Structure 1
Amino acid sequence: MDRKLFKAAMDGHVQILKQCNQLECQSTPTGNTVLHIASLNGRSQCVEHVLSTCTPLLKTVNKKGETPLHIAARKGYADIVGALIECARTQGKDMESGFGVVEEMVRMVNEEKDTALHMAVRNGWVKVGELLVREDPEFEYYGEFPGSWWAHGENRLACSGDSQRQRNDIKILEKKRFLTDIADEDGWTPLHYAAHFNHVKMVRLLLKQEKSAAYTPNKEGKTALHIAASRGHTESMQELISECPDCCELVDGRGQNALHVAVENNEGGAVGLMLKNPLFGSLINEKDVDGNTPLHLLATWGCYIRSLIIEPRVDKSAYNAENLTALDIASCTHQFSTLKVCQMQI
């Protein structure tokens, strides 16, 4: 590619681009066209000019199989993604595929089988992701879909109080119900992330669409309730318990229920919530894979959660797999404050 043309596209000098009449003939050694370069550098005016004078570059791929849409989506340039989509919309249908040019472009995959949407969500560009999904709502996307896309992002969540945004979320989830089940590489679904960040309205919305998500474990075996309990997010916990009461019984890969997890993380509020709820009555003295009850974990980690210590239903004489009581552990680990209170309650 001509050096002046390359720099013009990179730096946003539209006037220089206007002096070239054969933009489609120019490319870099890696196959990037002027439209790729302008998209990569966020030069929206250059993108608009190229689209108006050389539309065929819209679907041109570089040596990685990437279209300008892939690149703009990866960088998070929503204005450029919008311009590319609008240009494609004016092209009608592709004669070979029979699809609209927009749909065909959105569905194009690079050499790693990624669509532009995959790139957007992997990099956390929520607004770009929304644009792409809404443009082709019937397409079934496969591959890596970080669950955080639907449960994280300060500018789009239903919990932000934006009623229009919430309605949009509902419409997308109704069309794309499978999105509620998609997990990232750690097994986290959108509901896991919503519980982690205590996005209560999103928790409610996801459960409304698919209650089974409450029973889905991540790779550590933790459900959304485990996650919420570990963070002390009592509002999200209440939503989960209310909609799916039997999810309280689920244990993670270490055999721990939500009460174990809350104690281990010293989340007294979460512990208090569960102790007051009859659903957890039979779980107060449950043991994990090491034979530890929640009280054993309290002693192990030196936590001070008075509500558990003084709870009359707690079995303070229970032994773990090492034949130790919580008092034994408190003594061995020199957790004297915990030890003193436990002794007072026996």
Structure 2
Amino acid sequence: MKASGKKILVTGADGFIGSHLTEALVRRGYSVKAFVLYNSFNSWGWLDTLPQDIKNSLEVFTGDIRDPHGVKTAMQGCNTVLHLAALIAIPYSYHSPDTYVDTNVKGTLNILQAARELNVEKIVHTSTSEVYGTARFVPITEEHPLQGQSPYSATKIGADQLAMSFHYAFGTPVTIIRPFNTYGPRQSARAVIPTVITQIASGKRKIKLGALHPTRDFNYVVDTVRGFIAAAESETAIGEVINIGSNYEISIGETVKLIAEVMGADIEIVTDEIRLRPVKSEVERLWADNTKARKLLTWEPLYGGKDGLKKGLLDTVAWFTKKENLVHYKAEIYNL
């Protein structure tokens, strides 16, 4: 798929990854409709912070992914849908699981139903590495068993399975991409990297965190966005599930040390009990095999390995430490 004459709907365009993806698509020449969550403030989320020329190039649709009528209206006239809208905070899913079913499962169903009725050319559905649970083998391939260790991951498994069921049952042109832990500018402080950065940037040296031993495969947002666009443009990815990961494993504790090094800060880590997941819910190990992405999408990380992670952290820290950006965050409050 080439940019000329193609219109793309991005759901969740107001969020962290969605705003970066929306901006990148406009810069590539696509006609983009941005689906943002309706609110009485008329806020477009992070899209409000984009350069004016990018905002002038967007068609913005305010609605709710849980509303099938609004979803179908938003999708009319679009060739491709990049579906990112979801509730993603794992701690919040422990006490409000109903909202995750409504948003992640029913919201995805609304996209799929409308795509079927409107004969949309391609759906790129967003999964998550959390669907694998604690790795049973590494690196994790797309054939790894799925295990919902939190209500959040369970609803994402349900959404993934719905998407594939529509492909098998109705021929709906679905591609599922499964990003591992994305980080970068604009990320919510509910994630570990911005949590550490915002605490240090706010002058704190006793850093409150949860478990430090789990490992993750961190991906700079530029690489994740490149994966979405590659999936949208690919002629070979329909009906496939594809990991987007760096193929580099690092513990939370080592990541925190790397952030402190980048920021030139001498810190002490304090375990905050409220930030710990229930023992059996903690995903202990994630490490992506990205062979399939390299083969089908000709995608590979630009920020791979420890050097790539450090490079991405430098860019992330530079963004968060600007006063106009840090003001959006409440470092003193634990963000579910």
TM-score (norm 2): 0.25
Q: Choose between structure 1 and 2: higher helix proportion.
A: 1
Name which structure has the greater RCO, CA cutoff 8 Å, separation 6+.
2
